[in-house]
Amino acid sequence: MHLELVKMDDRASNPRDFHGAYLGKTVLVVGAARSGIASAEFLLARGARIVLTDTKTQEQLSRAIEPLQEVARQSGSELILELGGHKAKSFRNCSFVIVSPGVPLALPWFEESRKAGIPIMAEVELASRHLKGKILGITGSNGKTTTTALVTELLRGSGLSACRAGNIGIPLISYVAHSSPEDLYSTELSSFQLEGILQFRPAIASILNLTPDHLDRYRGFEDYIAAKKRVFMNQQESDFAVLNADDPRTAAMAGEVRSAPLLFSRVTQPERGAFLREGMVCHRDESGEKALFPAAEVRLKGEHNLENVLAACSIALLAGAAPESMREVIQNFNGVEHRLEWVAEINGVLYFNDSKATNVDATIKSISAFPGNIHLIAGGRDKGGDFTVLARLVSERVKHLALIGEAAGKIREALGALVETTPHASLEDAVTACSHHAQPGDVVLLAPACASFDMFDSYEHRGRVFKQTVLGLASQG
């Protein structure tokens, strides 16, 4: 079974001919992050009048908006900057609103647009209305980036035209101008992006897993799950849903989706989908069962990454990848930056960067990848997580807990009695302290269980600071 390549115009969506569609229209873009800037560039180039609003000041955003101002100059379109705060009238006086993922739709400003009957949409929604080719939508609480990247490599390894996009760092809208019907877009989707879809319809959609996350933004876990499930909202019978059979919440969705469900599992052998049999990664569909490659050849650490591999293989096979091409890709895939990334070995101590472990469940998976002797660096901005669920693993595998950021006190209250715990004013101080505590054979692991925004611009920024500090220690011997 695999996805038949059909023209995007044959799918239930808006027309793909956008020339002139935005000429003279006023579009409000809320949030000057990557997707907001990319949307504004796309619309400016097509004659739209753009109002860009952000709570940050023009001075703070000068580098981000400079290319946007150049696009406005070249296109002759009007760019209005409303920075340092929002204006209610702008939410009432526009054709539609594009919202960046980091901006909560619960903010009162959006009520102005809703009352006026003005559509509010995410950048991925705008892109999907014009993009040629197939969108493969990948979401879940953890593993999205690794799976999205691996799907891209598996498709390319099979000679297919594949791009990675979405929350992985490259806005989907950036591909529209040069897209073709043969293209496949492996797209990481956050719950925030999915809140802003209207007609967005991925040909293949996957929820990898569901654990509590972003509870600082949602009223509860069920609201978060509801946002994730929107990835299937517009799918039809000819589309596919790839689901984790080992997660009871996602497994139950197999009976709810309109699309054709396939399951992946580490512990069972689903009738259709990817699984393990006698040390081999296998896949079964109506054409039969195929052994793809030995599980031992997966280079990524941790059982959770084996689940990511099973999901990626299922998605890639549905999209047309050849089974025989997968083994070489898997043998050469080292993972993604900031996801259990090996950084250095210094005096027999291993240093790993898992800055993308921004919730408690991701930190559980990160700790579980090592048998013990861990010096764990955790903390940052609390997302409403329950740090007490880390207690068993911390007791069994962590020797020293180095805490940073706003959540340091909450984490110390939950775990400090179980293991030696030290607070630190900066990530650099925490790394240095861990290096002094660690003995040969130990692991220093950055797996914060928190967001980065109290001290850093992003989890990538946090991961880079960690790596720079570690490499600085290495240079000192």
Angle at 340 between CA 339 and CA 341, to 5 degrees: 85
Say if residue 350 is in the same domain as residue 406: yes
Strands 240-244 and 204-207: parallel
Say if residue 109 is in the same domain as residue 230: no
CA dihedral 344, 347, 349, 352 (to 10 degrees): -10
- Which of 90, 118, 146 is the endpoint of a domain? 118
Instruction: Report the 10 Å Cβ neighbour count for 457.
Output: 10
11 in any annotated domain: no
73 in any annotated domain: yes
Say if residue 313 is in the same domain as residue 215: yes
Token pair 């791009």 is found at 163
Say if residue 276 is in the same domain as residue 152: yes
12 in any annotated domain: no
Q: What is the pLDDT of residue 477?
A: 66
- Which of 308, 332, 356 is the endpoint of a domain? 332
Rounded distance between C-alpha atoms, residue 330 and residue 152, angstroms: 12
39 in any annotated domain: yes
Q: What is the pLDDT of residue 230?
A: 97
- Phi and psi of 167, rounded to 5°? -65, -5
296 in any annotated domain: yes
Say if residue 323 is in the same domain as residue 349: no
Say if residue 111 is in the same domain as residue 181: no
Say if residue 102 is in the same domain as residue 54: yes
User: pTM for the whole thing?
Assistant: 0.77
Domain count, the chain: 3
Q: What is the pLDDT of residue 341?
A: 87
Say if residue 104 is in the same domain as residue 171: no
Say if residue 303 is in the same domain as residue 190: yes
1 in any annotated domain: no
Rounded distance between C-alpha atoms, residue 62 and residue 81, angstroms: 11
Q: What is the CATH number of the domain that holds 406?
A: 3.90.190.20
Tens of each residue's pLDDT in the chain, 477 residues = 444 332 333 333 333 444 568 998 999 999 998 899 999 999 999 999 999 999 999 999 998 899 899 999 999 999 999 999 999 999 999 999 999 988 989 899 999 999 999 999 999 999 999 999 999 999 998 889 899 999 999 999 999 999 989 987 789 999 998 899 999 999 999 999 999 999 999 999 999 999 877 767 778 889 999 999 999 999 999 999 999 999 999 999 999 999 999 999 999 999 999 999 999 999 999 889 999 999 999 988 888 889 999 999 999 999 999 999 999 999 989 877 888 888 998 988 999 999 999 999 899 989 988 889 999 999 999 998 899 999 999 999 999 999 999 999 999 999 999 999 999 999 999 999 999 999 988 999 999 999 999 999 999 999 999 999 999 999 886
14 in any annotated domain: no
Say if residue 326 is in the same domain as residue 446: no
| 3-state SS track over the chain | CCCCCCCHHHCCCCCCCCCCCCCCCEEEEECCCHHHHHHHHHHHCCCCEEEEEECCCCCCCHHHHHHHHHHHHHHCCCEEEEECCCCHHHHHCCCEEEECCCCCCCCCHHHHHHHCCCCEEEHHHHHHCCCCCEEEEEECCCCHHHHHHHHHHHHHHCCCCEEEEECCCCCHHHHHHHCCCCCEEEEECCHHHHHCCCCCCCCEEEECCCCCCCCCCCCCHHHHHHHHHHHHCCCCCCCEEEEECCCHHHHHHHHCCCCEEEEECCCCCCCCEEEEECCEEEEEECCEEEEEEEHHHCCCCCHHHHHHHHHHHHHHHHCCCCHHHHHHHHHHCCCCCCCCEEEEEECCEEEEECCCCCCHHHHHHHHHCCCCCEEEEEECECCCCCHHHHHHHHHHHEEEEEEECCCHHHHHHHHCCCCEEEECCCHHHHHHHHHHHCCCCCEEEECCCCECCCCCCCHHHHHHHHHHHHHHHHHCC
Say if residue 297 is in the same domain as residue 181: yes
Structural domain containing residue 207? 125-332
- Which of 118, 135, 160 is the endpoint of a domain? 118
Q: What is the pLDDT of residue 3?
A: 42
Q: What is the CATH number of the domain that holds 81?
A: 3.40.50.720
Say if residue 111 is in the same domain as residue 173: no
Q: What is the pLDDT of residue 339?
A: 82
8 in any annotated domain: no
Q: What is the pLDDT of residue 336?
A: 77
